[in-house]
A and B are shown apart, each in its own frame.
Chain A
């Protein structure tokens, strides 16, 4: 499984756009990129998934350059409730099963 590298922590203010970049230099051809969010005392929650270019849903956008060696999770206009840990994962979704390996994640702290 491809190894991912993310910043350990980030600070932001309410209303700002936050971009969290994940490096995955040895991503394989069939690997997808998935982001999860985890609040204290809760299990992680799926945010967004993509393979290439840009993916957008009601919560976030995911930007993936052509070489796919990195990806950026973009959270528009964050609020205090977006304070959480964000995990970037890569893995093969085409296989019969997907073994989800989590890294250390990025701890985002949103300030008023």
Chain B
């Protein structure tokens, strides 16, 4: 079955380190998204992509970057991790022209 997977599921890193979170989908969806969710809050959009070589900033993009070299993957990089980036990160994908997005299980990142 097609799916979307995130790795790692849990990560602890130190302040100032570069961290990359992986997102891989097998639906061949053009649209991919990264969100962060802080305890007790809704999801906030970090970056999104509408296709290969396309990337766009979301609401809270400072300190994050993404690249889209193929359809299946949209890795999220924290250039220099900060304690304020401790959060749960969700990746999602959707077909072109469709609002039904499919979410991964999330990555819990702790920056110490």
A contact set with B: CB distance below 8 Å: 32, 34, 41-46, 49, 85, 87, 89, 91, 93-105
Q: How far is the CB of B54 from chain A (nearest CB, A)?
A: 9
Kindly state the separation between the CA atoms of A96 and B104 in the bound complex, as whole angstroms: 22
Is B43 a contact partner of A102 (Cβ separation < 8 A)? yes
Could you give 6 example pairs across A and B, Cβ below 8 Å?
A87-B42, A93-B98, A96-B97, A98-B99, A100-B92, A102-B35
- With CB as the reference atom, state the residue of chain A lying closest to B88: A41
- With CB as the reference atom, state the residue of chain A lying closest to B50: A97
Is B94 a contact partner of A98 (Cβ separation < 8 A)? yes
Kindly state the separation between the CA atoms of A45 and B4 in the bound complex, as whole angstroms: 13
Is A91 a contact partner of B99 (Cβ separation < 8 A)? yes
Number of interface residues of B (CB under 8 A): 28
Given contacts A97-B31, A100-B45, contact A34 B99 (CB under 8 A): yes
Contact with A along B95-110 (1 / 0, CB 8 A): 0111111111110000
Is A99 a contact partner of B106 (Cβ separation < 8 A)? no
Q: Which 5 A-B pairs have the closest CB atoms?
A: A43-B103, A97-B50, A102-B43, A46-B100, A34-B99
Kindly state the separation between the CA atoms of A99 and B56 in the bound complex, as whole angstroms: 10
